Amino acid sequence: MKTKFYKYQGAGNDFVLVDNRPDSYRDYFDHQNPDRIAKICDRRFGVGADGMMFLQSHEGFDFEMVYYNADGRPSSMCGNGGRCIVAFAKMLGVIDTETNFLAVDGPHYAKIAESGDWVSLQMINVDHITRDGEAYVLNTGSPHYVALTTGLANKDVYHDGHAIRNNPTYKAQGINVNFVEPDADGYFVRTFERGVENETYACGTGVTAVALAMAQHNQQTGHIVTPINVLGGNLSICFNYDGARFTDIYLEGPAVKVFEGVLEV
């Protein structure tokens, strides 16, 4: 079976996308066949990606986002993936410049520039942040561990992130590990992602978690805009914080089509 696919990236976080509105691929890509998706995401033997997404029809929404990690398994929310699938939906003509779509963590609103390569995605509200020692732990659609550090440019993120993700507290369910260091414009962030089991060039839910954790850390309140620098480029997170609850959270950044092709499945 031949499958048309599209490759997108958001600040270096890259994805294989398939238009599955006809529901043609359910027997080929599902929770029971993770090896097939993992092979497609493999950077040496497949297309290469941090994850794979299917744009599907869903009553009451413009579309549904179904996301799998690079290991082929179903994932929690992916922020950069959400922005990329919005750009994909615009390219397909499914939406114009605004959309309401369904993801694994619920409904999302997004708006996209007329050019189709800059997406602002509303994330879920966050009601609380807990602590693990000096680190912050919270869920922004996916679970995240946020640790302030120094010398981040030279840090062994794979080694340190892998150790935290696989410690007794987090090993069973996994957690995404974000290391953050203040820089001139805001923060520099590097992330070890569960499911990819490696460092990625960007993590949308991760930089969102960092922005919220740093607002609490610095005791900021009100309307906050946080620039984030990642290995793959620049992202921005804006939100409201009243000292107890984070609302109106938007993850903003580029979402760019890289190429398209045909898979022989």
CATH of the domain at 138: 3.10.310.10
Site of tokens 């290991």: 71
Token pair for 99: 């959309």
Token pair for 258: 């890289």
Residue-wise pLDDT tens digits, 151-207:
999 999 999 999 999 999 999 999 999 999 999 889 999 999 999 999 999 999 999
- What total of structural domains would you count in the chain? 2
Q: Is 243 helix (H, G, I), strand (E, B) or coil?
A: coil
Both 136 and 241 in one domain: the answer is yes
| Amino acid (one-letter) located at 144 | H
Question: Crossing angle for the helix pair 79-92 and 204-217, nearest 10 degrees?
Answer: 130
Residue-wise pLDDT tens digits, 91-138:
999 999 999 999 999 999 999 998 889 999 999 999 999 999 999 999
Average pLDDT, the chain: 95
Q: Is 78 a catalytic residue?
A: yes
Question: Which of 41, 78, 84, 238 does the annotation list as catalytic?
Answer: 78
Both 136 and 240 in one domain: the answer is yes
Q: Is 238 a catalytic residue?
A: no
pLDDT confidence of residue 215: 98
pLDDT confidence of residue 129: 98
| Beta pairing class for 222-230 and 198-200 | unpaired
Both 165 and 203 in one domain: the answer is yes
pLDDT confidence of residue 73: 93
CA–CA separation, 216 and 195 (whole Å)? 28
- pLDDT band with cut points at 50, 70 and 90 for residue 209: very high
Q: Is 90 helix (H, G, I), strand (E, B) or coil?
A: helix
Q: 44 burial class (0-12, 13-18, 19+ CB within 10 angstroms)? A: exposed
Residue-wise pLDDT tens digits, 16-75:
999 999 877 766 666 668 999 999 999 999 999 999 999 999 999 999 999 999 999 999
- pLDDT band with cut points at 50, 70 and 90 for residue 11: very high
Cα three-residue angle 216-218-219, rounded to 5 degrees: 60
Full residue range of the structural domain in which residue 62 is found: 2-123+255-264
Instruction: Report which of 263, 231, 196, 194 is spatially closest to residue 51, judged by C-alpha positions.
Output: 196
Helix and strand counts by DSSP (H, E) for the chain: 4, 17
